[in-house]
Amino acid sequence: MMSGIPAASVDGIPVTQLQGVGSQKAARLAKLGIHTVQDVLFHLPLRYQDRTRIIPIRQLRAGDSAVIAVTVTQAEVQVGRRRSLMVQVTDDTGHLWLRFFYFSAMQRSQLQPGAQLRCFGEVRRGPHHLELVHPEYQIITADQPISMNESLTPVYPTTEGLHQLSWRDLTEQALARLDQQMPLPELLPDAVLQRLQLPPLPEAVRFLHRPPAETAPHTWTDQPPPAQQRLAFEELLAHQLSLRQLRACQQAHPAPGVATTLQHLADQLRASLPFQLTRAQDRVIAEIRADLASPHPMLRLVQGDVGSGKTIVAALIAVAVIEAGYQVALMAPTELLAEQHRHNISTWFTPLQLSVGWLSGRHKGKRRQQVLQALVQGELTILVGTHALFQQDVQFARLGLVIVDEQHRFGVHQRLTLRNKGGALQPHQLIMTATPIPRTLAMTAYADLDLSVIDQLPPGRQPVQTVVLSAQRREQVIQRLGAHCQQGHQAYWVCTLIEESEVLQCETAEASAISLQQVLPDLRIGLVHGRLAAAEKEQTMRAFKAAELDVLVATTVIEVGVDVPQASLMVIDNAERLGLAQLHQLRGRVGRGAQASFCVLLYQSPLSALARERLAVMRATSDGFAVAQKDLELRGPGEVLGTRQTGEVRFRIANLLRDQTLVPLAQSVADELLQDYPAIVPTLIQRWLGDKTRYSSV
């Protein structure tokens, strides 16, 4: 069994009981989420400095951080571009200089020839010699000798007004509390600790704050020590438990039952399609239909690479729900993607005599009221829209299914808002994404969802051939684009800008369209960007899809949702400015037909090492999951999931890249605790999430 929680344990001691923590410092600590002594112990170092040994000057190299024991031989104030105090110091092996840009009269009097010092700092290469700029130093006297540190020195993440010396003092006091029989409560059962060979929590915390001198933290990225794994595991476990609670809370509500025998409309829709579904699509449909037959709300994420056919899967599920007598909401993050969905859904549903509604933020007045009235009266079977579907006045007669496309572009709170529009019954939720997410990340970020993967592309699809070229070859690329279109093919030209400015990006697209038209006067060139009126944008897209345009110049607004099978060439200008996920999504706009397709990534020199690596990945593979895994390695989990999702998967200690192997273990132990030790679950969640229990208030 696990140990109980003593009355005098560090999780209940306010941080203000630590010496030197008044109201001002407590407020600064609160900015970092630190309110108790336990929070201080869980605030782990970012890195460590080795101050356990003295390094001879002769062994120092620029970039080293080291402790030196030296004697002052010279001190002078130099006046140049910046006034500075220069102190020459020596040991038995050589000499270097200490440089202080900010110094007091007391320092000048202390740092006189003959003074014995112990200094710590980063070695830099000065104009003529090695230097330590503003090192930490102590003066050594016969009656005040200085002992060496016995452990590595931690460097903590901090905020304004909290210096590293303060952190070392705070953590020293917090660790002393553990020595005073005020333990850090052990919440995991003994059986779990022994089975997973995890060290006790107090031992792990002490190790991470004061690692022994012989440890090598630079190796921890590849081989985390057991102490670090111990804390990361418990945090991942708390995260899993919080999402299990969310799921259990949601599934406690009744949901519309959709019998698997309701197939009439789905069979009609299948019969009207000019293609056969893949085995992967059929498998995912079967998984979803089994969920719909349950009296509890479905919560399922469908992942599929670009072009894998998620939309038709969603449509076949939607008609089954409609046949059962319920309405469907389909939500997309951009108007362009929502318009694409409306077009496809209308094409498929109109022959089935199913009414399709459309709602975006641009809909105002009488037109909007007509849609809302038809919806609440049950005249619309499916409503397609953008964020406008969240709004309070959007009410359904019998909402049975919510389909959310490109989930990572919404916050989870936004997605869950739609569940309240189902009345007494909780609607089923089908979440779709064309942004492949590495499995470990999906298991963590979407632990409240079941996962289905469409891992097969429709037959006849060919991998897109990707070429990386310097912008110096732009003219050749333009000529190649012209020849490509003269052969009856279509092409995209995508413009990007490093500035986060839609206005500038649109201006660049407009200038590129004019420039291409001048060089290729025989081609029909269209333009799409985010600042165009919806009607103008839709008209241009319709013309491009109908092959009335040869080239579509666009901003990254076409990243998702544009489906033109005849387009077989994409040029991405300034491709080095985009991340892997965005590049992969853009490339997915071509290769949607049977003909060979190409993607040209034009870059400006010089390339950063990161940009070079991204472009190399794009050239090497078309596999979205391989791209996603590399994206995770390069950018980290928060960025891969998108800015809205970042705050919802922010860990104090766990790192989803480093700790991937712990995620399945955390899932397994979460099931075990809920089954056999339910009493400790709320305490474990409170320890790691505090008042941020994920989405429980939604």
Give residue 393's pLDDT. 87
Residue 156 tokens, joined: 């903590």
pLDDT tops 70 at residue 562: no
What whole-number distance in Å separates Cα of residue 638 and Cα of residue 625? 17
- Whether residue 199 lies inside any domain: the answer is no
Residues 513 and 559 in one domain: yes
Give residue 5's pLDDT. 47
CATH number of domain containing 77? 2.40.50.140
pLDDT tops 60 at residue 560: no
What whole-number distance in Å separates Cα of residue 342 and Cα of residue 384? 6
Residues 520 and 412 in one domain: no
Neighbouring residues of 609: CB distance < 8 A, sequence distance ≥ 6 = none
Residues 450 and 475 in one domain: no
Instruction: State pLDDT tens for residues 619-639.
Output: 998 888 788 888 877 766 655
Residue type, 288: I
User: Which DSSP string do the residues of 293-304 spell out, in sequence order?
Assistant: TSSS--EEEEEE
pLDDT tops 70 at residue 643: no
**Per-range mean pLDDT, top range of 6-15, 197-206, 312-321:** 312-321
What whole-number distance in Å separates Cα of residue 405 and Cα of residue 417? 15
Whole-number average pLDDT of the chain = 86
Residue 102 tokens, joined: 């900010």
How many structural domains does the chain have?
3
What whole-number distance in Å separates Cα of residue 393 and Cα of residue 309? 33
Residue type, 376: V
Out of 454, 488, 519, pick the residue that ends a domain: 454
Q: In what helix (H) or strand (E) does residue 661 lie, and over which residues does it extend?
A: none
- Whether residue 195 lies inside any domain: the answer is no
Task: Give which of 71, 150, 77, 52 is closest to 113, Cα–Cα.
Answer: 71
- Whether residue 1 lies inside any domain: the answer is no
Residues 447 and 475 in one domain: no
Residues 276 and 402 in one domain: yes
Give residue 408's pLDDT. 56
Question: What is the chain's Cα-based Rg?
Answer: 31
Distances (CA, A) of 177 to 37, 184, 363: 9, 9, 62
pLDDT tops 90 at residue 434: no
Residues 440 and 486 in one domain: no
Residues 375 and 282 in one domain: yes
Residues 325 and 409 in one domain: yes
As to burial, measured by CB atoms within 10 angstroms (0-12 exposed, 13-18 middle, 19+ buried), residue 200 is middle
CA dihedral 174, 179, 185, 190 (to 10 degrees): 140
Residue 484 tokens, joined: 């490509």
Residues 485 and 412 in one domain: no
- Whether residue 226 lies inside any domain: the answer is no
Residue 55 — pLDDT band, cuts 50, 70, 90?
A: very high
Give residue 433's pLDDT. 85
pLDDT tops 50 at residue 6: no
- Count of all residues that appear for the chain in the document: 698
Give residue 534's pLDDT. 74
Residue 646 — pLDDT band, cuts 50, 70, 90?
A: very low
Q: Hey, how many other C-beta atoms are within 10 angstroms of the C-beta on 643?
A: 11
For residues 637-655, give the mean pLDDT: 58
Instruction: State pLDDT tens for residues 509-538.
Output: 888 999 999 999 999 999 988 778 877 887
What whole-number distance in Å separates Cα of residue 338 and Cα of residue 359? 9
Out of 133, 148, 163, pick the residue that ends a domain: 148
- Whether residue 18 lies inside any domain: the answer is no
End-to-end alpha-carbon separation of the chain, Å?
A: 34
Instruction: State pLDDT tens for residues 68-122.
Output: 999 999 999 988 788 899 999 999 999 999 999 989 989 999 999 999 999 999 9
- Whether residue 412 lies inside any domain: the answer is yes
> Where in the sequence is the domain holding 564, given as residue range(s)?
465-621
Give residue 647's pLDDT. 39
What own/partner pairs with CB < 8 Å and gap ≥ 24 does 626-630 have? Answer: 627/436, 627/580, 627/581, 627/584, 628/435, 628/436, 628/437, 628/438, 628/580, 628/581, 628/584, 629/438, 630/580
Residues 389 and 487 in one domain: no
Out of 585, 600, 621, pick the residue that ends a domain: 621
Residues 272 and 367 in one domain: yes
Give residue 441's pLDDT. 74
Do 58 and 94 touch, CB atoms closer than 8 A? yes
Name the percent of the chain lying above pLDDT 70. Answer: 90
DSSP SS3 for 14: strand
Do 225 and 164 touch, CB atoms closer than 8 A? no
Instruction: State pLDDT tens for residues 322-360.
Output: 999 999 999 988 787 888 899 899 999 999 999 999 998
CATH number of domain containing 449? 3.40.50.300
Residues 133 and 279 in one domain: no
Higher pLDDT, 539 or 625: 539
- Whether residue 474 lies inside any domain: the answer is yes
Task: Give which of 28, 29, 45 is closest to 37, Cα–Cα.
Answer: 29
